[in-house]
Amino acid sequence: MSSTAPLGRPISVRLPEDLRRRIEALARATRRSQGDVVREVIERDLAKLEWEQRIAARAADLRAGRAEAVSLNEVERELGLDDVVVDPRILDDIE
């Protein structure tokens, strides 16, 4: 949502007092409304939460047998990478 998009219906959210104070302070410091601050936080983080939910749902589907995993060998073969030699030191950096 951009700042030029029309605003929809309001929702009500109960917040812990410390979070409310932080929002109020940021709104004052940036000369914005509390609603603008909260809206921006939601816009920034909602996609991340949606992505995390999709991963969790996919993992549940795999565990329950509702989806099938594809092996790394098969992915490499489909991408034409099965003959590519990988420096094993690169893998040391991946955790």
2-56 residue pLDDT tens = 556 788 899 999 999 999 999 999 999 999 999 999 999 999 999 999 999 999 9
* pTM for this prediction: 0.58
pLDDT for residue 28: 98
Q: Which two tokens stand for residue 68?
A: 């099938």
- H/E run at residue 92: helix 88-92
CB atoms within 10 A of CB 1: 12
Between the alpha carbon of residue 68 and those of residues 15, 44, 56, 65, the distances in Å are 41, 32, 15, 7
For 80, the token pair is: 């034409």
